């Protein structure tokens, strides 16, 4: 999701290029593959203020591997086979912790693979009312609050513990203090990654001692050709939604739930992302492409199919299942090619696709949107599944196959 308004992008352009040129990532040896399903742990350096950081590898019997750091509860890599059995990492990120803490990265704030909180997406003006009182948040995306503020969950070092069940899993815990970035209430947050036979499963949980708001998601950028292997415009996207939430120029929802029919936002049938992304349409001009929330079809709080992506040249597929009511689709419109990623590759414009299962942006200020309030003593739970696959040799056969519950 785009974090910077247009004026800020222009003003920071030269500064970002200089900063990127002055920062050279520290080469780190790749974590060795596991010989069997399971997990491994490795020290991964430290943050600039000295907090130790660890890297965890989860691997299943098919050789699919997820690497997750406790810095930001971040998905750093996800390695999957294509139709020929060749493995590739399909999420954008860095080889070392320095990549996630560099000045260039913090200025661009792409949030590669991070857990976003307390509130994913924008809150208009950095303000909302709760129990008759105005709550003011730190404004990090003028004039709005975005992705939890300057020091959101993506910059926290989480406590980590590895699961002991048959499927490799990692539990990450973080205690968010009352007043952090302006949010009321002490909040205990848990994120559980589980690598299943054909899916990466993410469960979010939170409790609070005061009434507050919460909206958590994962901000991975997917490229099913492989991270750093060009753009995602050839990816075929299908979304289980017949409405979306249009935005104003500041990318905040207007409150309308607009039908997707006869618009570039109609993905009820598979469509290549690049087909209509450059259409002369006001909504696309606001985000320089897709950066919009889709209203998912199906009951809230129950696991439902949200979207499917297919990359035709390699054959990889990705399905999203979630209990959330919305799916933010962001096509990497503000990636600039000035961040050096894994294996020395740069990530250019539209080099990754974000599919962020979440509640709607600015819900605390939109009465008609599903509520994001969690009461004192209550519990927040959210569940999202990234289901990994490979298409059939005959794309027509694959398109005709039904979508089954994970």
Count of domains for the chain: 1
In a domain, 20, yes or no: yes
Task: For residue 106, tell me if it sits in a domain.
Answer: yes
Say how far apart CA 52 and CA 88 lie, in whole Å: 28
Mean pLDDT of the chain: 90
- Give the residue among 223, 354, 242 at the shortest CA–CA distance from 287: 354
Residue-wise pLDDT tens digits, 80-92: 999 999 999 999 9
In which domain, by residue range, is 389 found?
Answer: 6-400
Give buried/exposed letters for 282-296 (b at 16+ CB in 10 A, else e).
ebbebbbbbbbbbbb
So what's the pLDDT on residue 397? Answer: 45
What is the model's pLDDT at position 16? Answer: 34
Q: Is residue 237 part of a domain?
A: yes
Q: Which residues are catalytic?
A: 219, 356
Calculate mean pLDDT across residues 110-123: 98
Report the candidate in 328, 403, 325, 385 with the shortest Cα–Cα distance to residue 359. 325
Higher pLDDT, 101 or 19: 101
Decide: 91 and 227 in contact? Cβ < 8 Å.
yes
Q: Does residue 330 form part of some domain? A: yes
Q: Is residue 1 part of a domain?
A: no
* pLDDT exceeds 90 at position 154: yes
In a domain, 273, yes or no: yes
Whether pLDDT at 403 is above 80:
no
Neighbours of 300 (CB within 10 A): 12
- Mean pLDDT in residue range 188-193: 98
pLDDT value at residue 392: 73
Judge whether 406 lies within some domain: no
Per-residue pLDDT for 394 more than 90? no
Return the CATH number at 368: 2.70.98.10
What does the pLDDT average to over 386-391?
A: 97
What is the per-residue pLDDT for 118?
98
Instruction: Determine, yes or no, domain membership for 405.
Output: no
Over the stretch 8-58, which tens digit does the pLDDT of each residue have?
Answer: 433 433 333 333 333 333 444 444 455 567 999 999 999 999 999 999 999
């Amino acid at each position: 999701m785009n974090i910077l308004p247009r004026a800020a992008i222009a003003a920071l352009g030269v500064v970002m290029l200089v900063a990127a040129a002055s920062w050279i990532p520290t080469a780190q040896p790749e974590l060795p593959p596991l010989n069997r399903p399971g997990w491994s742990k490795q020290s991964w350096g430290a943050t600039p203020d000295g907090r130790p950081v660890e890297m965890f590898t989860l691997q299943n019997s098919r050789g699919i591997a997820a690497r997750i750091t406790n810095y930001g509860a971040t998905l750093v890599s996800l390695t999957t086979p294509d139709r020929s059995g060749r493995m590739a990492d399909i999420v954008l990120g860095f080889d070392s912790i320095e990549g996630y803490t560099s000045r260039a990265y913090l200025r661009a704030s792409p949030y590669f693979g991070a857990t976003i909180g307390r509130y994913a997406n924008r809150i208009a003006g950095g303000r909302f009312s709760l129990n008759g009182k105005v709550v003011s948040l730190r404004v990090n995306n003028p004039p709005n609050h975005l992705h939890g503020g300057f020091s959101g969950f993506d910059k926290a070092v989480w406590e980590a513990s590895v699961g002991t069940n048959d499927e490799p899993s990692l539990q990450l815990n973080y205690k968010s203090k009352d007043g952090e970035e302006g949010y009321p209430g002490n909040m205990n947050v848990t994120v559980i990654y589980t690598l299943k036979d054909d899916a990466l499963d993410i469960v979010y949980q939170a409790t609070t001692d005061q009434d507050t708001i919460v909206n958590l998601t994962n901000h991975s950028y997917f490229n099913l050709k492989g991270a750093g292997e060009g753009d995602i415009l050839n990816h075929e996207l299908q979304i289980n939604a017949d409405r979306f939430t249009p935005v104003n120029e500041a990318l905040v929802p207007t409150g309308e739930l607009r039908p997707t029919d006869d618009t570039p936002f109609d993905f009820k049938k598979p469509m290549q992302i690049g087909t209509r992304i450059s259409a002369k349409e006001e909504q696309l001009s606001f985000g320089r492409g897709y950066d919009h929330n889709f209203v998912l079809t199906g009951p809230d709080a129950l696991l439902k199919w949200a979207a499917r992506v297919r990359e035709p040249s390699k054959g990889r597929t990705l399905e999203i299942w979630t209990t959330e009511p919305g799916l933010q689709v962001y096509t990497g419109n503000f990636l600039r090619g000035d961040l050096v990623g894994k294996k020395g590759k740069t990530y250019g414009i539209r080099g990754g696709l974000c599919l962020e299962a979440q509640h709607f942006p600015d819900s605390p200020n939109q009465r008609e949107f599903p509520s994001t309030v969690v009461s004192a003593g209550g519990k927040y739970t959210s569940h999202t599944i990234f289901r990994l696959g490979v298409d059939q040799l005959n794309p027509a056969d694959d398109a005709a196959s039904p979508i089954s519950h994970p």
